[in-house]
Structure 1
Amino acid sequence: MKQEILGKQVHYVVQGSGDPMLFIHGNPDTSHMWHRLINELKGEFRCIAPDLPGYGESDVLDGFDYSLEQQAEYIERFVASLELDQKVHLVVHDVGGFFGLAWAVTYPERIRSITVFNTAFTPQYRWHKLGRVWRTPLLGEFSLKAMSKGAFIASIRGAAPKYPKEDIIASFDQLTKRTHKSLLKLYRAMSPRKFKGWDQRLQALSQRVPVQVLWGGNDPYIKRFIAHTFGTNQVHFFEENSHWLPAEQPVQSAQLIRRFVADLSVAEPFVADQQTNASASEPAAVL
């Protein structure tokens, strides 16, 4: 499906029915990254997953400066176009957290709950090696142009051995020159210092809106302590998994999301100390 936002086409997928749940992907992914998790949740929720600007089938946005203000407004215009009459359960991953969390703190009246998968929204974050390459003029362009399919698969599999290979291939197959352009613009526009103040707004929001963190413990891109910077004690680590937890452990991730949402009507889960280590037997991007 497509909607026109800011004069450009935004592609998105919708599956299921029930309370709306908005999934915002990261880099180098598209809405397809969520398909395993959505398949688990579509029986209970209306699952909505857009492709970010320049990713997948969404158009590049002319004049889009990737400020957090513009990222928030982009998501707001997309959500407004859907004419939802309920608050949204927000689910974010990787750079999708930039867009989604900026939107959440700007439009808190839209938000019912927030589930965070490996992302960053704090000035304490530091770019990983590949992110620093992409932020460097000419070097970033060369690295993307030179990246073969085999090298791409090997790089992702090396970082996340449990990320299904067919999903990695799908991500590569959807990379285009439009994606490269948008990727470089996003990485060069964003620096950790730009989260200053925004992170405090998220901390304040977390006192009013339930937030949980589901974290792949072996993430080579984002340091572990970042999982504790979202203003919540509900932090669940999957120690045997890596950066792409929604695709690596969709069943266990869905179980935690269901439980989290079910608890909203009977408790205040965001003030409870719920830090756990999750496993397949007991469930507890690239930035």
Structure 2
Amino acid sequence: MAPRPADRPPPIVPHRLLPGYPAPDDWWRVPATGQHYLDAGAGAPVLLLHGNPSWSYVWRRLLPVLSPHVRCLAPDLPGLGLSPRPVPPPSNADRYAAQLAFLDSLFTHLVDHRRIPPRGWTFVMHDWGGPLGIAWALRNPGVVDRLVVLNTIGFRWPPGYRLPLSLRSIRGVAAVAALAHLTNAFPRAAVRAGVVHRLRAEVRRAYLLPYAHRRDRGAVVEFVRSIPRDDDPAWRLLEPPEGRSRLARLPVFVGWGMRDPVFTPLVLDEWTRRFPQARVHRYADAGHYVMEDAADELGRDIRDFLLETARR
């Protein structure tokens, strides 16, 4: 089914320009929304939720390690990657609610039409994937059995945390946001500042291809402008009156790039405080894109966690 008339269609990106990305045989779309996702492997469902300004390309080095053991489902968030560009709602809370509604559509499609079981899911969450994944899991108790946390947040910013100046400027100054949209500055900076080990030119190009045209970049800036302040009503999606205690008892793996300029060790400390049972791996020579800088080690560590905590 085509995207809704109010949405811009997804960008067309040739597979030959995406080194390491799964073949188009693994590419799928949610009929109701047009949302693009990868479906690779067999076994227990593992949903990989990326952040901004990345897309499912960020998982390409983990998929070969995980897909022989589990079924990897890696969507592109609406507005990013190879998914359609929906018209953004006016408020932060509405934007988060819209993203959660897209996750609802994806889940329904996977269960009803792709024979994915409605229970026993693992969420692998990075950057924006954290708050969206945690909020969705809290709204749908009993679906998620395990959490994998990679340089993200799932709660209010901890005391003493300060967002980097570049993100604060895009979030708070309309002229800076407009310039970022015009120049594609945030994705261009992310593929360099987000890693410790320089990415090859063709890999940087692949990350940026979905945002090559101005018409396809709107969500990149909107996600930054949606980063909640301390008093933002959107935090309520992560603070339901009940349900968080169920997540707190789940098996949790935390894999953290310790040289991340955005999700600093202060944020990691809050994860370990809230999930004292978590298995924590700190990757000293990795940045925000820990799945790039520490791909081999991280892939093995996540695989081992999934196999050791699998239902018998």
Matching residue of 1:217? 258
Structure 1 spans left out of the alignment, 5+ residues:
268-287
- Tell me the CA shift for residue 36 of structure 1: 0.5
Matching residue of 1:76? 104
Query: Hey, what's the Cα distance between the residues in 2 that align with 1:208 and 1:119?
Result: 19
Q: Do the aligned partners of 2:180 and 2:221 also contact (CA within 8 Å) in 1? A: no
Measured at CA, do residues 202 and 126 of structure 1 come closer, stay the same or move farther in structure 2, by a change above 3 Å?
A: farther
Structure 2 spans left out of the alignment, 5+ residues:
1-27
Q: Is structure 2 residue 205 aligned with structure 1 residue 162?
A: no
Measured at CA, do residues 71 and 110 of structure 1 come closer, stay the same or move farther in structure 2, by a change above 3 Å?
A: same
Measured at CA, do residues 122 and 214 of structure 1 come closer, stay the same or move farther in structure 2, by a change above 3 Å?
A: same
- 2:166 maps to amino acid: L
Return 160-169 or 39-48, whichever deviates more: 160-169
Measured at CA, do residues 223 and 51 of structure 1 come closer, stay the same or move farther in structure 2, by a change above 3 Å?
A: same
Query: Hey, what's the Cα distance between the residues in 2 that align with 1:44 and 1:152?
Result: 32
Q: Is structure 2 residue 242 aligned with structure 1 residue 198?
A: no
| Superposed CA offset, 1:69-100 (max 9, x none) | 33333212211111121421110111122221
Aligned mate of 1:89, from 101, 108, 122: 122
Matching residue of 1:2? 29
Aligned mate of 2:142, from 99, 109, 122: 109
Measured at CA, do residues 226 and 89 of structure 1 come closer, stay the same or move farther in structure 2, by a change above 3 Å?
A: same
Aligned mate of 2:270, from 229, 235, 240: 229
Return 241-250 or 183-192, whichever deviates more: 183-192
Query: Hey, what's the Cα distance between the residues in 2 that align with 1:66 and 1:4?
Result: 26
Q: Is structure 2 residue 43 aligned with structure 1 residue 18?
A: yes
Q: Do the aligned partners of 2:195 and 2:290 also contact (CA within 8 Å) in 1? A: no
| Superposed CA offset, 1:156-194 (max 9, x none) | 324413253343221112214344211222332331434
Between Structure 1 and Structure 2, how many residues are aligned?
Answer: 263
- Tell me the CA shift for residue 147 of structure 1: 4.0
Measured at CA, do residues 156 and 122 of structure 1 come closer, stay the same or move farther in structure 2, by a change above 3 Å?
A: same
Return 244-253 or 69-78, whichever deviates more: 69-78
Matching residue of 1:118? 151
Query: Hey, what's the Cα distance between the residues in 1 that align with 2:92 and 2:79?
Result: 12
Q: Is structure 2 residue 209 aligned with structure 1 residue 184?
A: no
Superposition CA RMSD, Å: 2.6
SS in 2 for 1:36: coil
Matching residue of 1:50? 75
Aligned mate of 1:34, from 53, 59, 71: 59
Measured at CA, do residues 28 and 266 of structure 1 come closer, stay the same or move farther in structure 2, by a change above 3 Å?
A: closer
| Superposed CA offset, 1:87-141 (max 9, x none) | 2111011112222121112113110111010012232254322322321212112
Query: Hey, what's the Cα distance between the residues in 2 that align with 1:92 and 1:163?
Result: 23
TM-score of the superposed pair, with normalisation by structure 1: 0.81
Measured at CA, do residues 104 and 87 of structure 1 come closer, stay the same or move farther in structure 2, by a change above 3 Å?
A: same
Q: Do the aligned partners of 2:148 and 2:252 also contact (CA within 8 Å) in 1? A: yes
Matching residue of 1:275? none
Query: Percent identical across equivalent pairs?
Result: 24
- Tell me the CA shift for residue 49 of structure 1: 0.5
Q: Do the aligned partners of 1:66 and 1:185 also contact (CA within 8 Å) in 2? A: no
